[in-house]
Amino acid sequence: MVTVNRQLYVTACLFTAFILLLGAAGCGSPAEEEEVVEAEDVEEIVDEADLDDAEDAIDETEEIDVEASPVDIDEWRNPTDLVALVNMFEELQWSWTTIENGVETDTFLVSYSYAGSETIDGVDTSVVVITFEGQETRAWLDEDGTVRQAEIDGELIPGEFADTMMEGMLMSLFWPFRMVDSYDVQNMLQESGPGIEWNTISTDQEQFNGLGAEVTRVQFELSPPAIPEGEEISIILAVADFGGDFQMLIEWIVEETDIDDFSFSMTVDKIAPR
């Protein structure tokens, strides 16, 4: 188990470095640049017309520049750790696949379920079960996110040692959701800017173990200045809207880029909210 977790951790770190290299964390900046351009346009209008005409021009400028959002997000759910999972979901299952030179190299399947609450050494804990590659890990989690106890392959691991042992594994298993944050996906779905273009591919009704949702798939084309010069990247994002109660990313596909014949996908296929 320790060997598998170490390999998974290294894999996650490599993908993290790759994505950050693409400049994804800076996707929010074009919106600020656009606001500066709009402000300069408004100043020119004021210089050339009286105050009433300027106010009308400002209104018209805003109406022209406002772009429709591909997805309306009221409550974004993106679990990046066990505490978030416990607060948001009873069950969740996700997977990610890596592809190099057109060949699928690895697929990892992870499932999570909430198994109730117990008191450990006088501390109230939430019991969670994580299954990875057929191996079940049970963890007792306090409200601060500390693992008070763990059970791996039937072996009970107490106290601080359990928290340390689980930390590396959880960093690896949660990396797709953490990359969603690094990519600033929530804001990308609501506004575009220089170097960020999107179009809606489809909107369909889909079922997730009996839970219905409207799923919108959006294709993003990224180019400079959103990412470094000489690079291009194509991303497909699928967001499920569960009746207006919450929205979450259920599919994320990074297609091949100019700098490497590499792609990967992340898919959520089982959802049971709390």
Q: What pLDDT, in 10s, does the model give residues 158-205? A: 877 888 888 878 887 888 888 888 878 888 888 777 888 889 999 999
For the chain, domain boundaries: 79-177
List of residues 6+ apart from 67 with CB closer than 8 A: 191, 192
Question: pLDDT tens for residues 71-109?
Answer: 888 899 999 988 999 999 999 999 988 877 777 778 889
What pTM does this model have?
A: 0.70
Identify the band that residue 7 occupies on the pLDDT scale cut at 50, 70 and 90.
very low
Residue 148 has a pLDDT of 92
Span 60-69, average pLDDT = 44
Is the distance from CB of 138 to CB of 129 less than 8 angstroms?
Answer: yes
Note the pLDDT tens digit of each residue in 218-268.
Answer: 998 888 888 888 888 888 999 999 988 899 999 988 875 554 566 788 999
